[in-house]
């Protein structure tokens, strides 16, 4: 039998009553900013908030385009801005929330593959994990302790 490489990926499910103040703040910021998203094509509004090691929080949303591939996800929007402006400040946590236009409740969202790869980049740059908090339709947080739980077997080393 051939050798097998196995990894364990897990998400912690956190009920609303058990959220920390920090988690509640990050989710609130993601919920607020998703309302300002430019998503006329998918009508799927996404907000992302990023906590830095100095306690500052920045947020952004998805920006779609009539030429669909030009659109940018909320996670990459906030990471590009923050890492461009504060290249030496470590990102600690990113929270994501989503809603379908016209609906009241929240939609379950997890970062797309490109966003996962971008989160991975800043884990490499700073040498530490970035926690990913994802809101689901029951308003629980699904918490990934680092990108390895969302992107196992990821590309993170040019030298093999």
- Residue 117 is a binding residue for ligand THU (CB under 6 A): no
Instruction: Pick the binder of ligand THU from 9, 36, 112, 114 (CB under 6 A).
Output: 112
34: left (phi over 0), alpha (psi -120 to 50) or beta: alpha
Which of 26, 30, 33, 46 touches ligand THU (CB under 6 A)?
46
> Smaller CB distance to ligand THU: residue 57 or 109?
109
Q: How far is the CB of 5 from ligand THU (least distance, A)?
A: 27
Residue 36 sits in the site that holds ligand THU (CB under 6 A): no
Label residues 108-121 b or e (16+ Cβ within 10 Å = b). Answer: ebebeeebbbbbbe
Residue 91 CA to residue 132 CA, distance in Å, equals 11
Question: Is position 97 an interface residue for ligand THU (rule: CB under 6 A)?
Answer: no
From 64, 75, 123, 131, active-site residue: 75
Binding ligand THU (rule: CB under 6 A), the pick from 64, 95, 122, 149 is 64
The verdict on 96 binding ligand THU (CB under 6 A) reads yes
Respond yes or no: is residue 75 known to be catalytic: yes
* Position 141 contacts ligand THU (CB under 6 A): no
Residue 75: burial class (beta carbons within 10 Å; 0-12, 13-18, 19+):
buried
Residues making contact with ligand THU (CB under 6 A): 39, 42, 44, 46, 62, 64, 71, 73-75, 96, 109, 111-112, 115
Query: What positions carry a catalytic annotation?
Result: 75
């Amino acid at each position: 039998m051939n050798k097998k490489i196995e990894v364990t990926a897990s998400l912690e499910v956190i009920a609303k009553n058990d959220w920390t103040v920090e988690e509640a703040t990050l989710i609130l910021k993601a919920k607020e900013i998703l309302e300002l998203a430019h998503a006329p094509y998918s009508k799927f509004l996404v907000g992302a908030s990023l906590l830095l090691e100095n306690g500052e929080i920045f947020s952004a949303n998805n920006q779609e385009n009539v030429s669909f591939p030009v659109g940018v996800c909320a996670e990459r929007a906030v990471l590009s801005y923050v890492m461009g402006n504060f290249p030496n400040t470590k990102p600690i946590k990113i929270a994501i929330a989503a809603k379908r236009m016209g609906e009241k409740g929240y939609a379950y969202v997890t970062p797309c593959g490109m966003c996962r790869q971008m989160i991975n980049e800043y884990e490499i740059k700073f040498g530490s994990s970035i926690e990913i908090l994802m809101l689901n339709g029951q308003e629980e947080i699904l918490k990934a302790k680092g990108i390895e739980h969302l992107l196992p077997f990821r590309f993170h080393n040019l030298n093999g």
